[in-house]
Copies of this chain bind each other. A is one copy, B any other.
Amino acid sequence: MDLERSPLACPFPDLPPISGATLRVARARYKEWDRCDLTFAELAEGTAVAGVFTRSACASSEVEIGRAQVPGRARALVVNAGNSNAFTGHRGREAVDGIVAQVADALGCAAEAVFVSSTGVIGVPLPLDNARAGIAAALEAAPCGWEEAAETIGTTDTFAKGAGASAMIGETRVELAGIVKGSGMIAPDMATMLGYIFTDAAVEPAFLQEMLAKANGESFSCITVDGDTSTSDTVLAFATGAARHAPLAGWDSPGADAFYAALRSVCLDLAQLVVRDGEGARKFIEIAVFGAQSDDSARRIAMSVANSPLVKTAIAGEDANWGRVVMAVGKAGEPADRDRLSIGFGGTWAAREGQPLTNYDEAPVADHLRGQNIRIDVDLGIGEGSATVWTCDLTHGYIDINADYRS
């Protein structure tokens, strides 16, 4: 099916090359389509790798293997688009093993240094012959840029998604560049289907893992499109070390805070881009919860609001239906006091301390809701905990895409 470009799409940013990381794309023809669908990243020797993965109990072989390889060292990444290879039993596992063997042989590296991700249809074993031909073609292809790679890892994505940042580590400037694909099955706990962040910084694998896990908790784990969680969700970070500064080994390493801030910024930008391409999304929604008993409690309440079909359809209908927000707060199973709860839209309170405002002027709220960027504030009024999450509205487009597309 032909998907219309999301009205919330952002232009692809200018991202610098990352020394030590080379990207190539090729046609593996996983589907009957005329596009590149295999992405190959070659990484300099000694590249540190960290990863966070779906919590699904039915994860794909790619995820199971990847979980065991991080934190560690990486030489290559292969991303297959069009076939997730999930729920394919031993044949799926054999396909991944075949890809890893081919790449390790070509680069002369250990199998543990090769990472594989796959996204697309579940339940059809990845055709190894296609993968082999695609990898062979990629190995001979000219290097490509970030945008081409971002397009190649996509499936139902309607625009290519990338983000970058830089940081000073002592006198050395390091660069970060990331790409992501998303759109469906975007849910709490690890939201991006597939995201890859590359940097020329030098970072010890264990510390890179610690920073990625922390950044994930403030970015990918704070977005949701439909509450569904893919069996393949993966975010990997690769640090090639080409910038040749003293490696970051812990929070007391000089420059660690600056690097973390840059990493977090890339993760947050990528996460929000995924929401902006949520299936059928017409509005980007930020939900800020504060005054909760704890930050965790605030996050669970925010996610309850973000995943509520009734809230999401109200926003689609540009209806300041704060009653549905109350409902979603109430069902979260977290401490709340109906008579202290306040709800606002776009900075205007609609209800304060459990009651509609008597002098409530709906005009600025109605204006706000006609826009593309919606803000919902929820003040629980019982504590100091806070959290912000991001989601999109629920529209006819979501039904169109998911009732017709076999993902």
Contact = CB atoms under 8 A, between A and B. Distances in A.
Nearest to A225: B309
Interface stretch (A35-43, A126-134, A260-268, A322-330): A322-330
A341 B123 CA distance: 12
A283 to B, nearest CB: 11
Given A229-B327, A403-B317, A351 B57 contact: no
Interface stretch (A85-93, A170-178, A198-206, A208-216): A85-93
B406 A395 contact: no
A185 B326 contact: no
A321 B406 contact: yes
A28 to B, nearest CB: 20
A124 interface: yes
Nearest to A393: B403
Interface stretch (A70-78, A97-105, A139-147, A331-339): A331-339
Contact of A86 (B87, B184, B326): B326
A58 interface: yes
Contacts of A229: 327, 330-331
Contact of A399 (B86, B313, B330): B313
B355 A57 contact: no
Interface residues of A, number: 68
A310 B58 contact: no
B87 A328 contact: no
Interface in A324-368: 324, 326-339, 341, 351, 353-356
Contacts of A316: 399, 403
Nearest to A309: B226
Contacts of A84: 323
B319 A406 contact: yes
A80 interface: no
Contacts of A336: 57-58
Interface of A: 54-59, 84, 86-89, 91, 121-124, 184-185, 187, 226-231, 307-310, 313-314, 316-317, 319, 321-324, 326-339, 341, 351, 353-356, 394-396, 398-399, 402-404, 406-407
8 contacts: A57-B330, A58-B336, A86-B326, A89-B353, A122-B323, A122-B324, A319-B404, A398-B399
Given A121-B323, A227-B227, A321-B407, 13 more contacts: A54-B330, A57-B330, A84-B323, A87-B351, A184-B310, A226-B310, A228-B309, A228-B331, A313-B398, A314-B402, A316-B399, A323-B407, A324-B407
